Amino acid sequence: MTYSERATKFTNKVARELFEIVERKKTNLALALDVTTKQEFLNITDSVGPYICCLKTHIDILVDFDDELIEQLKRLQAKHSFLIFEDRKFADIGNTVKHQYSQGIYKISEWADIIDAHSLPGDGIVSGLKEVGLPLGRGLLLLAEMSSKGSLATGSYTDATVEMAQRHKDFVIGFIAGRKLLMNDDFVTMTPGVGLDVTKDGLGQQYRTPRDVILESGSDIIIVGRGIYGSGKDVIAEARRYRDVGWNAYEERIGK
Ligand code: 5BU
């Protein structure tokens, strides 16, 4: 199915919006922007904005975070049209994650369209996040697999994560995983650990190509970080390159 056909099937508003943006901008590229200053963060977002469907953040790595940054980020979101995914990887009991999601310095629920969580604590983590996120029209991705070497999220853990998602279809929009996990098209699959030039970093990250991820493994969205903004890179040229390779792989998959 095409992204636009998929978009019409989602009941969750965020999942629908994501695929509408993908189709409209013709990009299945999400940028993982792991820089540590506001200036770099905003400059790169503004440069790469036209080529991405989603901006993935780690808001707690910014050394000079303030509320103004969120306002500036929202302006760039309106300018370029992308969803914001805070890769917070919640991992605690429902009551705790509820506060971590909505309170503290970052107030993630106020600006992040998408968040993610480990399934490790059991269904309560989803219920806690849902209490905050569902009324705000947000969506949750469950971490069914990880890209790092030696990840324990495999086999029966991955299967149980898929089952958990199916019990919370109103709020769980999909998975972080290396491949499409279900035959049906009810969930979004987003895949990190994507790179064209290197196969690993020195700390356990493992890279696969967009073609492998989208065409061979049936994922929906490629998440690329240092492949785009790494040292000495022309971020616009790299974003275009990943967008093109990711989109060509999709077109090949649907037989276009
Ligand atoms: P990279 O620079 O393309 O390696 O960045 C990958 C990003 O995706 C980074 O923000 C990680 O925190 C994130 N990530 C990942 O690499 N692998 C995973 O399994 C998950 C998230 Br979940």
Instruction: Report which ligand 1 atom has the smallest distance to the Cα of 151.
Output: 19
CA-nearest residue for atom 1, ligand 1, is 225
Tell me the sheet residues that pair with 142.
117, 175
Considering only CA atoms, which of 140, 134, 96, 94 is closest in space to residue 115? 140
Q: Residue 58 Cα, ligand 1 centroid: separation in angstroms?
A: 10
The count of residues in the chain is 256
The whole-angstrom distance between residue 27's C-alpha and the CA centroid of its chain comes to 14
The interface predicted TM-score (ipTM) is 0.99
Q: d(Cα 12, Cα 153) in Å, to the nearest integer?
A: 26
Dihedral sign for Cα atoms in the order 31, 32, 34, 38: positive
Span 71-106, pLDDT tens digits: 999 999 999 999 999 999 999 999 999 999 999 999
The answer to whether 225 is annotated as binding is yes
pLDDT at 207: 98
Q: Residue 212 Cα, ligand 1 centroid: separation in angstroms?
A: 17
pLDDT at 231: 87
Span 147-189, pLDDT tens digits: 999 999 999 999 999 999 999 999 999 999 999 999 999 999 9
Q: d(Cα 220, Cα 18) in Å, to the nearest integer?
A: 11
Instruction: Report which ligand 1 atom has the smallest distance to the Cα of 201.
Output: 4
pTM of the model: 0.98
Instruction: Report which ligand 1 atom has the smallest distance to the Cα of 147.
Output: 19
The answer to whether 226 is annotated as binding is yes
Is residue 192 in contact with ligand 1, taking CB distance under 6 Å? yes
